[in-house]
Structure 1
Amino acid sequence: MHTPPSYDYDLAICGAGPVGMALAALLVQGGSHAGGIALLDAKSIAQARRDPRTIALSHGSRQILEAAGAWPVEATPIHQIHVSRRGHFGRSLLDRSEHTVEALGYVARYGAVVSVLADVCERLGIASVRPALVTGNAEDADGVSIAIDQDGAASSLRTKLLVQAEGGLFGQQQERRLTRDYGQSAIIAHVRVSSPIAHRAYERFTDEGPLALLPQDDGYALVWCVPPARAEQLLALDDAAFLARLDTAFGSRMGRFMHATPRLAYRLGLNAQAGGTARTAAIGNAAQTLHPVAGQGLNLGLRDAAVLARVLVQDSSPAGLSRYAGLRQADRGTTVRITDTMARIFTGAAPAQGLLGLSLGLLDIVSPARKTLAELMMYGRR
């Protein structure tokens, strides 16, 4: 007599960050059995709740979190996005009033988003296996066996389907099919200015790379992309010298930069591979790690989670995973191409950067084009 296979879970999600937890919550909100879903993560939930990193959420991501039962989140709304080219003609201003939304996006701390999602997942009864380091997995015709390490104790669990949602940073990942090192590092910090403009975000294109300022708390979250050698120099400066360099790079639109928190830097690159297997899929940074220009990384990941949840609620089988891969091709492909093209412009020749400035000027004149760009950033390709 044939013995049916035994499973611990119907679905295991490796990576309990915002994308992984959003997927779990959306599945249960859509009717899936909470007891059949497990979230695995190497960090404890207490560690994740304390994570101070800044993340940008689009209006579309807010809608996804609302569907997951994970909104409101403590966040600063963005009403306008000012896009410009430093020292050149061309700028565009995206405004919420053109799109009948409360905000174009939101700026939140990673820990705040994780906290709300963790509370939702706990309330829904979704299993949390953490801290647990996934050391490997083996797929066969009936399912996937996952090896884990918990404080030195090895164990395993069996699942019908596996979703990889733990991406990590560029340079610390296994190389995927589409990989590009942009020769840039992102410097991140929180800064204050003398004349802030409430709820306005800035994407400032410089000769070295994009410089983003996102309104948050009493100042701005800074993401300043520069060549690695330049990043090392900037990190080594004292606060006064660093702020002076930032003044020069950004300009005087908001007065002078007055304060900066301790600075960190990380390498930037593209590392993407959308494919999966019969019983596994990758979402978020596990499927595509992007340059931070336009702030699309997490938002694309949350769109991955929303589509996968919708598909698996209807068909939680290998056929469902295959259908999901097809549904995500257009949005993933478009977003990867846009961010990759913009990132490469800033490591290329000056004429290409001049064309970007001209394009920004045209965007501000042609309202339909400006609206299309804003909707792409808010919702992805639909």
Structure 2
Amino acid sequence: MKLADFHIAICGAGPVGQCLALLLCKQGIAADRILLLDAKTSAQAEQDVRSIALSYGSQQILTNAGAWPIKATSIRQIHVSRRGHFGRSLIDCKDYAIPALGYVARYGDIIAPLQRATEQRGVQIKRPATVSALEESDDAVTLTLQDGEKITATIVVQAEGGTFGNQTQKARSVDYQQTAIISHITVSQSVAQRAFERFTEQGPLALLPQEDGYALVWCVRPPSAEQLLGLDDNDFKAALQQAFGQRLGQILTASSRHSYPLGLNAQAQATKRIVTIGNAAQTLHPVAGQGLNLGLRDAKILASTLAETPLQDEFNQQPVAQQVAEQLQFFLKQRQTDRNTTIRLTDSMARIFASAPDGALTQSIFGLGLGLLDIVQPAKKLLAEQMMFGWR
């Protein structure tokens, strides 16, 4: 039986896919037996200016992969509050004896060191390349590219999920009827290294410290999003000021705005030789900024699992196939608690504002709960550790 072209083919060379490739190399899998495929060129990826929140746990994963330091702004405090209601909580890194709760970086600044590291390692990369079909057999998976080329791999990892608005519906799917508006703003009274998560009547409004100001992620219902996107700069700043308040003084500037629809789309799955991770397994609401962080934890655990998996045996194909399937199922079980906990957390917080009318009792109770967090320290510690490290 002919051996597959590669041990592992990773569809998606974003942060999760490339981090997985590097961690596999560290686990002893030969770099030239790992293939990364992505529809974007490396230049396109590095020019992506989207702002991404990385947890402290994700920084540790990227450091272990050899893709840190990066150009990023540290988050040492997170101020969580409810607009117009009593109740707030302040999470501070010094309470947990760590240098930062997380970091804010542009997507391109995260991907650049990953790309350098994978190239230096000798990982095989095909880009731009789009996979049009996957055909799984007992011995391997055949990947057919859009240009007709066929490649075989012992295991295929699907790590390219896209955003909620362009995905096929999965087993667990919720359209929150919310839109995220993103921009970069500057203010008159910034607080160094402090992030703000402000819950408004329509959803969370996050201001993440970045460079000379803050990355804005403002979640509102679609009609409001349409109205806000149609405003000129001055009227948009006024609307944002009204929603956020005066904690940072006056909003001075706001860059061009972009938007995308929000939803939950999750179905963690593995067949005999194909497994999904990152956004391909779960796309989340951006509240608490857990999407990429959950995906990087997927990559970390999958790398350690595959390091213990016999990938190819020229003389004993069937037992190898059985062990591969068993290890992929074992990976799903390992990730089940963290994935389910994170999904429930973000889904519950999103639903409170997506489905409840403005000023509903559930919203008021949530605001009260924020105030109690500073009193009930074990609950606050549990929330902080979930945001930084996931469920361990």
Q: TM tier, shorter chain?
A: over 0.9
Q: Which moved more, 1:312-321 or 1:25-34?
A: 312-321
Look up the match of 1:58. 55
* TM-aligned CA deviation for residue 31 of structure 1: 1.1
Q: Which secondary structure does the structure 2 equivalent of 1:346 belong to? A: helix
How many Å separate the matches in 2 of 1:359 and 1:219?
Answer: 29
How many Å separate the matches in 2 of 1:258 and 1:235?
Answer: 18
Q: 2:34 aligns with which of 34, 37, 41?
A: 37
How many Å separate the matches in 1 of 2:133 and 2:104?
Answer: 35
Look up the match of 1:330. 337
Q: 2:195 aligns with which of 187, 197, 201?
A: 201
* TM-aligned CA deviation for residue 29 of structure 1: 1.1
1:368 aligns with 2:362: no
* TM-aligned CA deviation for residue 236 of structure 1: 0.6
Q: Which secondary structure does the structure 2 equivalent of 1:365 belong to? A: coil
Q: How big is each residue's C-alpha offset from its partner over 1:206-240, in whole Å with a ceiling of 9 and x where there is no partner?
A: 00110000000000000000011110110110000
Look up the match of 1:114. 111
Q: 2:248 aligns with which of 241, 245, 254?
A: 254
Q: Which moved more, 1:140-149 or 1:284-293?
A: 140-149
8 Å CA contact retained: 1:19, 1:298: yes
Q: Which secondary structure does the structure 1 equivalent of 2:3 belong to? A: coil
How many Å separate the matches in 1 of 2:211 and 2:342?
Answer: 29
1:309 aligns with 2:316: no
Q: How big is each residue's C-alpha offset from its partner over 1:27-70, in whole Å with a ceiling of 9 and x where there is no partner?
A: 00121111110000000111101111110000000010011011
Q: 2:272 aligns with which of 275, 278, 298?
A: 278
**TM-score, normalised on structure 1?**
0.97
* TM-aligned CA deviation for residue 189 of structure 1: 0.4
Q: How big is each residue's C-alpha offset from its partner over 1:273-320, in whole Å with a ceiling of 9 and x where there is no partner?
A: 011211010000000000000000000000000000011111142222
8 Å CA contact retained: 1:188, 1:264: yes
Look up the match of 2:321. none
Look up the match of 1:70. 67
- How many equivalent pairs are there? 376
- Inter-CA distance 5–318: structure 2 relative to 1 (3 Å threshold): farther
- Which amino acid letter does the alignment assign opposite residue 287 of structure 1? A
1:183 aligns with 2:177: yes
Q: How big is each residue's C-alpha offset from its partner over 1:102-157, in whole Å with a ceiling of 9 and x where there is no partner?
A: 100000010011000000101111000110011111111111000112xxx32110
Look up the match of 2:353. 346
* TM-aligned CA deviation for residue 258 of structure 1: 0.6
8 Å CA contact retained: 1:13, 1:39: yes
Q: Which secondary structure does the structure 2 equivalent of 1:221 belong to? A: strand
How many Å separate the matches in 2 of 1:229 and 1:20?
Answer: 35
- Which amino acid letter does the alignment assign opposite residue 339 of structure 2? R
Look up the match of 2:144. 147
* TM-aligned CA deviation for residue 7 of structure 1: 1.1
- Which amino acid letter does the alignment assign opposite residue 323 of structure 1? F
Q: How does 1:155-174 map to 2 (within 5 A)?
A: 155-174=149-168
1:359 aligns with 2:369: yes
Look up the match of 2:218. 224
Look up the match of 2:25. 28
1:99 aligns with 2:96: yes
8 Å CA contact retained: 1:53, 1:109: yes
How many Å separate the matches in 1 of 2:327 and 2:63?
Answer: 24
Q: How big is each residue's C-alpha offset from its partner over 1:173-193, in whole Å with a ceiling of 9 and x where there is no partner?
A: 111000000000000000001
How many Å separate the matches in 2 of 1:88 and 1:183?
Answer: 24
- Which amino acid letter does the alignment assign opposite residue 367 of structure 1? Q
Q: Which secondary structure does the structure 1 equivalent of 2:165 belong to? A: coil
Q: Which secondary structure does the structure 2 equivalent of 1:154 belong to? A: coil
Q: Which runs of 5+ in 2 are unaligned?
A: 312-323
- Which amino acid letter does the alignment assign opposite residue 265 of structure 2? N
**TM-score, normalised on structure 2?**
0.95
1:130 aligns with 2:127: yes
- Which amino acid letter does the alignment assign opposite residue 133 of structure 1? T
* TM-aligned CA deviation for residue 95 of structure 1: 0.1
How many Å separate the matches in 1 of 2:45 and 2:26?
Answer: 23
How many Å separate the matches in 1 of 2:330 and 2:120?
Answer: 30
How many Å separate the matches in 1 of 2:40 and 2:148?
Answer: 17
Q: How big is each residue's C-alpha offset from its partner over 1:327-360, in whole Å with a ceiling of 9 and x where there is no partner?
A: 0000000000000000000021411011111111
* TM-aligned CA deviation for residue 370 of structure 1: 1.1
* TM-aligned CA deviation for residue 5 of structure 1: 3.0
* TM-aligned CA deviation for residue 321 of structure 1: 1.1
1:8 aligns with 2:5: yes
Look up the match of 1:79. 76
Point out 4+ residue stretches in structure 1 off by more than 6 angstroms.
Answer: none
The alignment yields a C-alpha RMSD, in angstroms, of 0.8
8 Å CA contact retained: 1:213, 1:223: yes
1:293 aligns with 2:290: no
8 Å CA contact retained: 1:330, 1:381: yes
Q: Which secondary structure does the structure 1 equivalent of 2:118 belong to? A: helix
Q: Which secondary structure does the structure 1 equivalent of 2:256 belong to? A: coil
8 Å CA contact retained: 1:5, 1:142: no
How many Å separate the matches in 1 of 2:380 and 2:3?
Answer: 54
Q: How big is each residue's C-alpha offset from its partner over 1:58-115, in whole Å with a ceiling of 9 and x where there is no partner?
A: 0000010011011111100000000000000110000011011110000001001100
- Which amino acid letter does the alignment assign opposite residue 12 of structure 2? G
